[in-house]
Amino acid sequence: MKFQREAVPEWPHQVKALPGCERIFSCIQCGTCSGTCPLSIYMDFTPRRIMSLLREGFRNEALSSETIWLCASCYACTAHCPQDIHITDVMYSLKREAIKNNLYPKRFPIPVLAREFYAIVKSRGRNWETLLVLRMALRSNPFILLGMVKSGWHLLRTGRLGFSGEKIRNPKELQREITIPKEAV
């Protein structure tokens, strides 16, 4: 049983104000998103149910759902939604809010991946997949590495595992660029 006091009525309106989320209230709950989503069968809430939670203001439930992390941003739902709701962009917004509020399910390393990726790019200007995989594995579940040994070996053999990561000339300047405006704004 859900009590109305558990809902955050203003939340959907805050989300609606975000870029790409304008049409969330137009959802007619037809389920096309869930039907077209290759991952919905692995989700605890189908995308359609997330839209419903969102609209009804059940913030906690939506943000702590596994769904938003299972979303691989393939944009199938967005392309097929009869109400032209940009569901993928909504999922992004929820991911960001979840990370900000530390609400994501701990057993999912995606936020870790995202953060590691963020860190690497911030310091180097470019991603370094090898480093990313290692750091992510170490921070989430080192055993992933074992599972990866075989493919890792393949990659090594075929020269697809870069050991000298790439950099841009002046990462500092890039950091300034991507941090200053947010202070300015």
Partner 1 sequence: MSNSNGTVRIGVYICHCGSNIGAVVNCPAVAEYAAGLPHVAVSRDYKYMCSDPGQELIIQDIREHKLDRVVVASCSPLLHEHTFREALAHAGLNSFFLQMVNIREHDSWVHSDHAAATAKAQDLVRAAVRRVVLHKPLERRQVDIDASVLVVGGGIAGIHAALTLANAGKKVYLVEREPSIGGHMAKFDKTFPTMDCAACILTPKMTQVRSHKNITLWTLSEVSQVSGYVGNYEVKVKRWPRYILEDACIGCQECIEACVFKQGKTEDEFNEKLSKRKPIYIPFPQAVPQMVLIDPDNCIQFKSGRCKKTCVEACGERKAIRFDQQEAIETIKVGAIILATGFKTFDAKRIPDYGYGVYPNVYTSLEVERLVNASGPTAGEIVLRDGSTPKAVGIIHCVGSRDERTNRHCSRVCCMYSLKLAHLIKEHTGAEVFNFYIDMRTPGKGFEEFYQQLLNEGVHMVRGRVAEVADWALDPSEEGKLVLRVEDTLAGFARRIPVDMVVLSVGLEPQEDADEVRRLFNISCSPGGFFLERHPKLAPVSTFTDGIFLAGCCQGPKDIPDTVAQAGAAAAEALALIDAGHVEMEPNTAHVIEEECSGCKTCLPMCPYSAITFKEEEHHAWINEVLCKGCGTCVAACPSGSIVQNLFEDEEIYEEIKGVLNYA
Partner 2 sequence: MSTTKPTQKSYLYFPGCSLRATGKAYEESMLELFQRLEVPLEELDDWNCCGATSYMAIDEDSAFMLSARNLSLAHQAGGGRDLLAPCAACYLVLRKTQDYAQKYPSIGREVADSLKTAHLPAMNSVKVRHPLEMLYNDVGVEKLRGKVARHWHGGHIACYYGCQTVRPYSEVDKAYNPTRMDELLRAVGIPTVDYSLKTKCCGGSLTGTIHDVGIRLNYVLLKEAVRKGAQAIVTICPLCQFNLDTYQSEISKQTKEHFDIPVFYLTQLLGWAVGGDVDKLGLQRGVSGRKAIKDWMMSHEGVESYV
x/- map, 3-42, partner 2, by CB under 8 A = ----------------xx-----------------xx--x
If binding is defined by CB under 8 A, does position 86 make contact with partner 1? no
Q: How many CA atoms lie within 13 A of 51 on its CB side?
A: 26
CA 171, CA 74: separation in Å to the nearest integer?
30
Spatial CB neighbours of 84, under 8 Å, sequence gap ≥ 6: 23, 26
Binding mask 107-146 for partner 2 (x = CB under 8 A): -xxxx-xxx-xx--x---xxxxxx--x--x-------x--
Residue 34 touches which member of partner 1, partner 2, none, C-beta under 5-8 Å by kind = partner 1
The count of chain residues that interact with partner 2, using the rule CB under 8 A, is 63
Rounded to whole angstroms, the Cα distance separating 103 from 97 reads: 8
151 in contact with partner 2 (CB under 8 A): yes
Dist. CA 137–CA 139, nearest whole Å: 5
At residue 68's C-alpha, the angle toward residues 67 and 72, to 5°, is: 95
50 binds partner 2 (CB under 8 A): no
Binding-site partner at residue 105 among partner 1, partner 2, none, CB < 5 to 8 Å by type: none
Helix (H, G, I), strand (E, B) or coil at 13: helix
Distance CA(43)–CA(34), nearest Å, equals 10
Q: Going residue by residue from 59 to 98, which x/- string records binding to partner 2, judged by CB under 8 A? A: ----------xx-xxxxx-xx------x-----x--xx--
Instruction: List interacting residues with partner 1 (CB under 8 A).
Output: 28-37, 40-41, 46, 48-49, 80, 82-84
